[in-house]
Chain A
Amino acid sequence: LAKTTQPISMDSYEGQEVNITCSHNNIATNDYITWYQQFPSQGPRFIIQGYKTKVTNEVASLFIPADRKSSTLSLPRVSLSDTAVYYCLVGEGQAGTALIFGKGTTLSVSS
């Protein structure tokens, strides 16, 4: 199983860009990188997924260098409602197998 390492916590202010980096040194060739967001007492919610280079959607961007041993989730102009735990997951290479959650990063956004 590919293991991921993220910062335990990060603090930011409203309107700032937040970048959360995840290390996954043992990522396999067929693995995708997926980020989830979780609010207290709710199930995790899919944010973004990528394989290489850059992926952007309406809520975030994901940057993946050529060696794919790390990835960076970028949240533009965060607001108070972005306060949550963010998890980086790396797939086993074949959908249908288990994804294992790491410890996640608790992002706190202040006004």
Chain B
Amino acid sequence: DAMVIQNPRYQVTQFGKPVTLSCSQTLNHNVMYWYQQKSSQAPKLLFHYYDKDFNNEADTPDNFQSRRPNTSFCFLDIRSPGLGDAAMYLCATTVAGVTDTQYFGPGTRLTVL
């Protein structure tokens, strides 16, 4: 059974049109992460939640926002997507206080037209 679910798997949006990507988890993990991965590059951390505490990476653009309404769900909002935001977006979870093993979802591939 899927443990970290991302919807949709493929998302197409237009330049400047807001888009929301979703992630849900059945693991009851208290930490959730969002990564951006561009072609042939390593995943780049955007931000993460430790319970309800939001932690933004210093170089994450303001165009990217996140919401975590409850333990199971986390959303990535891109307010005005540019062509450079086309990428795979990965959600991951972990349990704080254990050993830093992250469980990744399958990713959402975002195309910006």
Contact = CB atoms under 8 A, between A and B. Distances in A.
Contact of A95 (B92, B100, B104): B100
Interface string A24-60: 0000000010101000011111100100000000000
5 contacts: A34-B99, A41-B107, A89-B100, A96-B31, A97-B50
Interface string B76-100: 0000000000001010101111111
Contact of B106 (A32, A42, A92, A101): A42
With a 10 A CB-CB cut-off, give which of A45, A46, A99 has the most chain B CB atoms. A99
A91 B99 contact: yes
B45 A98 contact: yes
Given A87-B42, A91-B99, A99-B102, 20 more contacts: A34-B101, A36-B102, A43-B90, A43-B107, A44-B43, A44-B92, A44-B102, A45-B104, A46-B101, A49-B99, A89-B100, A91-B100, A95-B94, A95-B97, A95-B99, A96-B30, A96-B31, A96-B50, A96-B94, A102-B42
